[in-house]
Amino acid sequence: MKERLLQFIWQEKYFQLNDLVLESGEQLIIRDPGTWNHDQGPDFLNARILLDGTTWAGNVEIHVKSSQWYQHRHQTDPAYNNVILHVVWENDAPRLSASLPTLVLHHRVSAILLDRYEQLMQSGGQLVCQEWLPEITADYWAGWKQQLIRERIQRKAKDLLNLYKSCNHNWNDACWCWMARYMGSVVNGDFFEQVAKSLPSRIMARHKDQVIQLEALLLGQANLLKESNPDPYVQLLQREYQYLQHKYQLPELHGRMQKLRMRPTAFPEVRLAQLAMLWHQQGMFSRSWLEAEKLSDITRTLDITANDFWHYHFTLDEASPYQPKHTGEELIQQLLINVIIPYLYAAGVHQQQPALQQKAINWIGSLPAERNALIKQWQRAGATSETALESQALIELKKYYCEARRCLDCSIGRYLLKEPYHS
């Protein structure tokens, strides 16, 4: 038995409630189990119970073993003076239960609930509860996905607001770094953000009309222009970068781009060239994102093609067959989901405009679902998604609930553990 599971059982009253008797022999009726306390102090606050017909109001403490009351030194902590009930799985301190009302739940909890919880915790599958998912109704899924997508966007918005603070409360710099991070993908996102931080938006804006200079700044700061190269265009980039590095006293960054198991169209050189073209065609990011009335207005600005040199190159070193380096539908969707929409939500939080936050939710609900390996896995298990709102909710569920085995915090897990599984 885990204390968190015992707290869940008490909170939901998932135990036999008839003829409750304390270790001292008093009759117990639970009027209100109290409010779960996530801070310091007793586990549940403001509970109400009847002991032999007398009403008691106060707090409830939960332990697996009653002796943990002493182990945790609650007897000397004034915060526990108003505990009216000690709920335990096993009473191994009978002298304590003679003075502190104690309820033992060991024989009052359904074996079905305990078995299913153990199965969830021991599941070897990547999706913990996949064998039971057919039991979940569409309406129940819909409500949980709505909560999950808000958690996901709120978390990303919080990260963006922290970035905004670290950028001296400059939205242009924050959005520039945020865009760079997601253009770098999971593999190179951290280093792309470092590159962007070393090139403040005011510097990039000064060279907006010169895409070659923008490329030189980005490729140079990414340590991709250091080696000799016979190509005239690369030599031009090197000269431009040397001049601009000296002019702005740009810091040297330590690190290098990775290409492991990466498609050539996603190589860091290509993505940096596309970022240069985004600056060339669009300029400051945050203003246009916030002013856009429709998501399609932003989508058009993200549909760009890297400079002509990249039609014949995936890297600076080697030529390749002709292939213009468009951002493409998949990348644009990822930028909308991970960059634009979280920014809109963060701006709504920062400006205290709930309408902007709801607009972000509406926008993600208007995009088609992603079709990656994880979403296909959910689909095979019976959890479908038609919109990006649903697919992002499933990604959130897998990453922050399933992988951490937070079944007791998950609506699906709680559903599977609740009645009618009680005997």
How far apart are the C-alpha atoms of 334 and 339, rounded to whole Å? Answer: 8
pLDDT in tens, the chain (423 residues): 999 999 999 999 999 999 999 999 999 999 999 999 999 999 999 999 999 999 999 999 999 999 999 999 999 999 999 999 999 999 999 999 999 999 999 999 999 899 989 988 887 667 888 888 888 888 999 999 999 999 999 999 999 999 999 999 999 999 999 999 999 999 999 999 999 999 999 999 999 999 999 999 999 999 999 889 999 999 999 999 999 999 999 999 998 899 988 999 999 999 999 999 999 998 877 778 888 889 999 999 999 999 999 999 999 999 999 999 999 999 999 999 999 999 999 999 999 999 999 999 999 999 999 999 999 999 988 888 999 999 999 999 999 999 889 999 999 999 988 854 444
Query: pTM for the full model?
Result: 0.86
Do the beta carbons of residue 394 and residue 151 sit within 8 Å? no
The contacts of residue 72 (CB under 8 Å, 6+ apart) are: 63
**Among candidates 172, 165, 169, 154, which has minimal Cα distance to 341?**
154
Domain ranges of the chain: 3-109, 167-326
Q: Which residue has the tokens 């009847």?
A: 50
**Residues of 251-290 as b/e, b for ≥16 C-beta within 10 angstroms?**
eeeeeebebeeeeebbbbbbbbbbbbbbbbebbbbbeebb
Q: DSSP 3-state assignment of 250?
A: coil
Q: What are phi and psi of 155, to 5 degrees?
A: -65, -45
Q: DSSP 3-state assignment of 45?
A: strand
Between strands 102-104 and 83-90, the pairing is parallel
